[in-house]
Structure 1
């Protein structure tokens, strides 16, 4: 990590808050001193209602503009309503991926009551604006990437929130805890907010709270719970006509499903998200949906597609997926680059990701960073980095990410002819993937385990029974139409190794060509009712 990387990271933006960010705090510039007329007040309230409706089901850029106008008009006559408008405007700006508007909402000016001046100066003791201004100072620090100051200002107030607090206060506190990476606290506060909203009959608020809660569970590796909440929220959001909220929930669900390896289902869910996200300008939902599809493609061995899909999401430029979320997809991008021989695209992203990991807002990031560095490192450093990654995983919840590191390390050990050590890592990967429902990843770990010499047999019949597990996988890949390069990427071996094994396969099975092998295996699978192991790389 270096100063150049820190500067690049700050320029690109930061502000993760579950994935949405309605806890954003801020006020418009000081009022002119002219008393707002009742007619103007009515117009502002209409703008507030319209903006809130558009935020739930409409173009979010329009919602942001209406809400900022409402906040400016209501500041003098109804400060509480003005603050609600600013909260909603920040949420709209985040959903739209509008970095400039998001930062403007956070702007901290002089306090009009006690005169506190600069953006970092708290209000005088006893000022009614003190709590609000402190929150804005913390959120402004967060928007600038100063997480340590943000934590110092924001976190103490989270522990002052009691279970008897109002629904809005619980939800805001929970989303801030999510922003700061305090995931167990975030889940507790958001669960309380959900219970409070249901008890109060505030049905309209429930889908949004569920979206936050599902995000907290997803980030902590509680995939089954995240999916259950996302699907529950989807039913209600659709019934209430909250299409934007439904798109966010669909995107979370797609991220959960993406680790199961059901690529057709993920594609269908992504299409469902984009059908709303594109016309309504939902950059957040679109980013999560594209990331979900890329993650499913990576798990299915379609590494080149995954790298191509992730590149515009994480790299700087006009096509960047979202100013405050891009770093979440960097570990997948690095792995896809390495497996598809695009490693030159990855080192710069690892330096940027290191800045994010150093901020302390994501418990999984230090382990992911070490794994990324291990994937790119020379052989004499990789083992040290893999073991460092595993040590970081022991200090943070998340069985899926932990299992991915075990798998990568096990594959690395196997390629270096250290099968006993490889099997230990691969068994741990298999158990981890099974624990979180990552079906295709579990199959991949199991295949690697057999290739490392696990005593379980190949389970194959007829001509295949004489082949090693690695040869079976190569033979099935060829029969499905995959090229040697594609098979090498899928199995994380060299093309030369694929060619070597394939010559032996031809000799043992008595065929002379790829076409002959495909015909032979088609007959074997017709007799035994089995499908190909390798996915269609299309």
Structure 2
């Protein structure tokens, strides 16, 4: 149709270019969609205003994917310079600039989102429907990232603005925006339901680019829910859809993180680390990318017992996130639990308390049991390190109770594991055994092998006899882990001790039990 349109029939030509660009976008051919949108955009006299605004929306969106934020920002700036007397075009340019700057300059993005909403309010029923939808969705995301929670009224406003539009890319729909965002505020059920439903709809119409993004976020949501097999199925579906779609949108960061988290749960830490490091080489060097990749890298370091590396990575996550105004813990991968544990292990209790205090404030303000539970667990670990076992048991019990209201079951298992360890130190053997078994059942049910292995070791430790009469309580705990094959560094991470303290305990154990090697110690404990 484009080829058969006379060059002087500018209105018809522009309309057909935009229609065709939308079809290419649906197919996932973003570069061709961008090429056609670019051809339609520069002729202000050749397009009806609504068609021209559609061209700007599509051109900005596809330019962002193909050439990056700088190119999209230049288009917006040029448009604003030319549209001083055109509130419709101005509101649209501001809305899209707010949208793609929501991951970068958030104060600027928030200011222009508010300005776009104000223009739409002034225009009333005559407002451009795309601007009237994009601006409130951008503001909702900016505020959520900033730690203000998710304002669903803004998303509902966007949904109302979109109700009369004939075609909206799936990924730009208000319902999908809610599905992508709800998982960040502990509402995993809403995310799962919306992502699953809209994924089927995208498949029905063959919108390949949307299918890939929706599958990526569904996989991540399933992992948060403690459903690794469902996440594995979503990853397999993504790979199949990507092969069918061919070149186009690359692998989203959320999918890369999902692959790494699944490898961690499978106890394949080397593979998880390789996935994340490869992604850091492939993806653009922007702070939010570094944040979401470094959080699981820090978790890997902690599981390996490399406490100092874990602290470096996870403290860096918080520093980088704050620099770009990302104050929502879930957006940065909730690094606080691992960071707090690592800081306690390193003896940096004041810093650990600061991490817990910040998280507790956010959890209370936003009524988020996951964050409240993690904060209580870190405080419990601090009390344990100080030898305040009664207080530690109280805090860790409260953490487990808070996590009972959280949709992320593995976090409850972690708090139960810490609680069981404290109960064992307090000689409450029956309670410890019951708590540790509950932690093990949680980790097993939700497929977290490294944590299940640790819970199994704690349970087995309670069944041993022989050495307890000659070893101190601390020496016994160290000896149990060494006999299970853990390195000194791993023992230090698990017992919140320094490596030097562990080495001292190991030497004392060898002397008291008259053994000369770790192998001999393990054999002694098997008797």
Please give the TM-score of this superposition, normalised by the length of structure 2: 0.71
Name structure 2 gaps, 5 residues minimum. Answer: 1-42, 468-474
Structure with the largest fraction of helix:
2
Q: Is the 8 A contact 2:87 2:119 kept in 1?
A: no
Deviations 1:149-169 (A, max 9, x none): x2465579889999x997434
- Tell me the distance in 2 between the aligned counterparts of 1:327 and 1:293: 11
Partner of 1:102: 109
Q: Is the 8 A contact 2:217 2:254 kept in 1?
A: no
1:380-529 alignment, distance < 5 Å: 380-453=390-463, 471=479, 473-474=481-482, 482=488, 487-492=491-496, 499-500=504-505, 502-506=507-511, 508=513, 510-511=515-516, 517=517
TM-aligned CA distance change 1:453 to 1:155, over 3 Å: farther
Partner of 2:303: 299
Shift of 1:270: 0.7
1:368-379 alignment, distance < 5 Å: 368-377=374-383, 379=388
Partner of 1:182: 187
Shift of 1:113: 6.2
Q: Is the aligned partner of 1:246 residue 2:252? A: yes
- Tell me the distance in 1 between the aligned counterparts of 2:353 and 2:477: 33
TM-aligned CA distance change 1:427 to 1:258, over 3 Å: same
Q: Is the aligned partner of 1:52 residue 2:65? A: no
Partner of 1:267: 273
Deviations 1:98-148 (A, max 9, x none): 3334324532457446639xxxxxx7xx77679747767756764665448
Shift of 1:201: 1.0
Partner of 1:28: none
Partner of 1:256: 262
Q: Is the 8 A contact 2:372 2:399 kept in 1?
A: yes
Partner of 1:358: 364
TM-aligned CA distance change 1:55 to 1:449, over 3 Å: farther
Q: Is the 8 A contact 1:234 1:246 kept in 2?
A: no
**Paired residues, what number?**
457
Q: Is the aligned partner of 1:171 residue 2:171? A: no
TM-aligned CA distance change 1:137 to 1:493, over 3 Å: closer
Please give the TM-score of this superposition, normalised by the length of structure 1: 0.70
Shift of 1:220: 3.1
Partner of 2:208: 203
TM-aligned CA distance change 1:112 to 1:62, over 3 Å: closer
Partner of 1:233: 238
SS at match of 1:338: helix
- Tell me the distance in 2 between the aligned counterparts of 1:362 and 1:317: 20
Q: Is the aligned partner of 1:345 residue 2:341? A: no
- Tell me the distance in 1 between the aligned counterparts of 2:44 and 2:76: 17
TM-aligned CA distance change 1:468 to 1:330, over 3 Å: closer
Q: Is the aligned partner of 1:212 residue 2:217? A: yes
Deviates more, 1:282-291 or 1:493-502: 493-502
Partner of 1:27: none
- Tell me the distance in 1 between the aligned counterparts of 2:520 and 2:336: 42
Q: Is the 8 A contact 2:321 2:332 kept in 1?
A: no
Query: Considering only aligned residues, what root-mean-square deviation do their CA atoms show, in Å?
Result: 4.5
SS at match of 1:107: helix
